[in-house]
């Protein structure tokens, strides 16, 4: 019985310590990645601004093959919303186009409902290198409130890895 009490006390102390650490951790997160694609900038931009095209390269958009998808508005225009719900893997949420700078920038907000309520801003920018090369920069920024902010270091690493994989797939699609 004393051993069980000691184990429970240690577990409670560890949880308490983690909660105290979370009080002093940052609450904002930011991840960015980039890739050079051997394709004209307008071709790259016109593909990226259509949220439905993300099914072809975005690792998270491909999660959960049983997703139910709904679309509101005209894809590739401000106000378009791509919503989904599905299995535990896919979760539930929506992505909305907030702003477009023709040929240069697409700003969206992604709002998750499940497995947890959280949102972030995503920006995809295209930059001309030459007539046949484009740099794509993809950033994700948001806020995780206490105590979820404890997850930021792990989340940033995971999101960066997934973004890199998605950009490599995008490059293969647009160069193929």
Helix (H) or strand (E) holding 43, with range, is: helix 41-48
Question: Which residue pairs from 147-152 have beta carbons closer than 8 angstroms and sit at least 24 positions apart in sequence?
Answer: 147/18, 147/19, 147/22, 148/116, 148/118, 149/22, 149/25, 149/26, 149/27, 150/18, 150/21, 150/22, 150/25, 152/25, 152/26, 152/27, 152/29
Query: How many angstroms separate the CA atoms of 130 and 36, rounded?
Result: 11
pLDDT at 43: 96
pLDDT digits (tens, 9 = 90+) for 54-106: 889 988 776 666 788 899 999 999 999 999 887 777 789 999 999 999 999 99
pLDDT exceeds 90 at position 12: no
Query: How many angstroms separate the CA atoms of 119 and 78, rounded?
Result: 18
pLDDT at 46: 97
Query: Bigger pLDDT: 7 or 72?
Result: 72
Cα-based distances in Å from 49 to 3, 40, 41, 98? 59, 15, 12, 11
Q: What is the pTM of this model?
A: 0.85
pLDDT digits (tens, 9 = 90+) for 100-142: 999 999 999 999 888 888 899 999 999 999 999 999 999 999 9
């Amino acid at each position: 019985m004393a051993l069980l009490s000691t184990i429970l006390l240690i577990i409670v102390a560890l949880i308490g310590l983690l909660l105290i650490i979370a009080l002093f951790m940052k609450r904002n997160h930011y991840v960015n990645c980039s890739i050079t694609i051997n394709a004209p900038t307008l071709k790259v931009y016109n593909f990226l601004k259509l949220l439905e095209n993300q099914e072809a390269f975005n690792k998270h958009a491909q999660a959960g093959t049983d997703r139910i998808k709904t679309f509101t508005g005209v894809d590739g225009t401000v106000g378009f919303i791509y919503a989904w719900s599905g299995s535990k893997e896919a979760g539930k949420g929506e992505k909305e186009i907030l702003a477009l700078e023709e040929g240069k920038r697409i700003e969206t907000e992604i709002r998750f409902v499940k497995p947890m309520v959280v949102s972030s801003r995503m920006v995809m920018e295209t930059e001309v290198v030459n007539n046949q090369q484009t740099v794509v920069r993809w950033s994700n920024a948001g806020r995780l409130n206490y105590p979820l902010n404890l997850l930021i270091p792990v989340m940033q690493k995971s999101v960066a890895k997934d973004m890199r994989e998605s950009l490599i797939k995008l490059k293969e699609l647009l160069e193929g």
